[in-house]
Amino acid sequence: MTEGVLKTGTTTIGIKCRDCVIMASDRRATMANQIAHSHVQKVYKIADNIGMTIAGLVGDAQLMVRYMQSEIALYEMKKGGKISANAAATLASDIIRQGFYLGLIIGGYDRTGGHVYSIDGAGGYIEDNVISTGSGSVYALGALEAGYRPDMTFEEGRDLVITALNSAIRRDNASGGGMIISVIDKNGMRFLSDEETRTRITELGFKYPY
């Protein structure tokens, strides 16, 4: 990567809770040592029941999102129903092998429950309960591993994700600018409002903005 390339730097998180999946990220984009943007979208809705986080080159990330949204729309029209989380992860692993410099998390909720997959740049994908990617992931994973339980409620999972993102943002200079938090459950995918996220961050005793 050259110094002039816009990168998301990034801490992205996906966790599986009792009745939902939570996907989240920071909001900073960097260009070498420069903070290029502080309000970057890194969590995307790619189907009604599927979300994706991105870490890596911004241009590749934007193209990947468009690919996934269009391919899933075609898949669902042909099949006449919602795509499963596993099928979405398989699709992403096939597409990323075309040369995208990205690390992805695919999360979704389908008839078998919640699922979270990590996808690397070579197309490998692995399902897990707790996943973090990006430059701040080493800091986030410490908090996630210490506090995670498979039977966590949405509220408990949300607070754990905020704690993990806060750890990464405080220690990784490529992560920052705030947080994006989403939840996927039987009703589909929704994003927490900025006000809702900001209020809970403050209630937990963390500073905002970053």
Which residues neighbour 34 within 8 Å (Cβ) at sequence distance 6 or greater? none
Helix (H, G, I), strand (E, B) or coil at 61: helix
Sign of the Cα torsion 46, 192, 101, 4 reads: positive
Cα separation values, 18 from 81, 151, 160, 181, Å? 24, 5, 14, 17
| DSSP symbols for 76-145 | HHHHTSPPPHHHHHHHHHHHHTTT--EEEEEEEEETTEEEEEEE-TTS-EEE-SEEEESTTHHHHHHHHH
Query: Using CA atoms, how far apart are residues 58 and 12, in angstroms rounded to an integer?
Result: 14
Instruction: Indicate which residue of 8, 10, 11, 163 is catalytic.
Output: 10
Is 2 annotated as catalytic? no
Structural contact between residues 137 and 168, judged by C-beta atoms closer than 8 angstroms: yes
DSSP summary character for residue 72: H
Catalytic residues: 10
